[in-house]
Amino acid sequence: MSTTVSTDGPITPSAMSDLWYMIRRYPLGVAGAIIMSLFVLAAIFADYLAPLDPFSTNARASLARPNDVYLMGADMMGRDVFSRLIHGARISLAVALGATLIGSGVGAAVGLACGYIGGWFDLIVQRVTEVMQALPLLVMALVITASLGPSLRNTIIAIAIPLIPTVARVIRSNVLSLREMPYVEAAKATGMSEFRIAVIHVMPNTLAPLIVLATAQLGSTILTEASLSFLGLGVPEPYPSWGRMLSESAAEYVRTAPWLVIFPGLVISLVVFGSNLLGDALRDALDPRQRG
pLDDT(10) > 70: no
Q: Is residue 11 part of a domain?
A: no
Q: What share of the chain is helix, strand, coil (3-state, %, to 5)?
A: 70, 0, 25
The verdict on residue 109 lying in a domain is yes
Contact 276, 32 (CB under 8 A): yes
Residue 169: pLDDT above 80?
yes
Number of domains in the chain: 1
The rounded percent of the chain whose pLDDT value lies above 90 is 5
Q: Point out the least confidently predicted range of 28-42, 209-223, 233-247, 258-272.
A: 233-247
Is residue 10 in some structural domain? no
Mean pLDDT check: name the lowest of 73-82, 129-138, 278-287. Answer: 278-287
The number of helix segments (H) and strand segments (E) in the chain equals 12, 0
Identify whether 8 is part of a domain. Answer: no
pLDDT for res 41: 92
CA 241 vs CA 35, 67, 128, 248: distances in Å: 19, 22, 33, 11
Residue 207 belongs to domain with CATH number: 1.10.3720.10
Q: Which of 287, 272, 218, 263 is nearest to 82 (CA)?
A: 263
Q: Please tell me the predicted confidence (pLDDT) of residue 287.
A: 61
Whether the predicted pLDDT of 8 surpasses 80 = no
Determine which helix (DSSP H) or strand (DSSP E) holds 146, and give its type and residue range: helix 137-148
Identify the pLDDT of residue 106.
Answer: 92
14 within a domain of the structure (yes/no):
no
Average pLDDT, the chain: 82
241-277 in b/e burial notation, b at 16+ Cβ within 10 A? bbbbbbbbbeeebeeebebbbebbeebbeebbebbbb
Q: Tell me, yes or no, whether 167 lies in a domain.
A: yes
Residue 267 is assigned to a structural domain of this protein: yes
Question: Who contacts 86 (Cβ-Cβ below 8 Å, separation ≥6)?
Answer: 42, 43, 46, 49, 50, 54
Confidence of residue 11 (pLDDT cuts 50, 70, 90): very low
Q: Taking the CB of residue 40, how many other CB atoms lie within 10 A of it?
A: 15
> In this structure, is residue 18 part of a structural domain?
no
- Summarize the confidence of residues 166-185 as an average pLDDT: 85
Q: Which residue range forms the structural domain that includes residue 208?
A: 26-290
What is residue 6's predicted lDDT score, i.e. its pLDDT?
A: 44
CA dist., res. 90 & res. 42, Å (int): 8
Q: Which residue has the higher pLDDT, 251 or 136?
A: 136
**Residue pLDDT, tens place only, 196-255:** 888 888 888 888 788 888 887 887 888 888 888 777 787 777 778 887 787 766 667 778
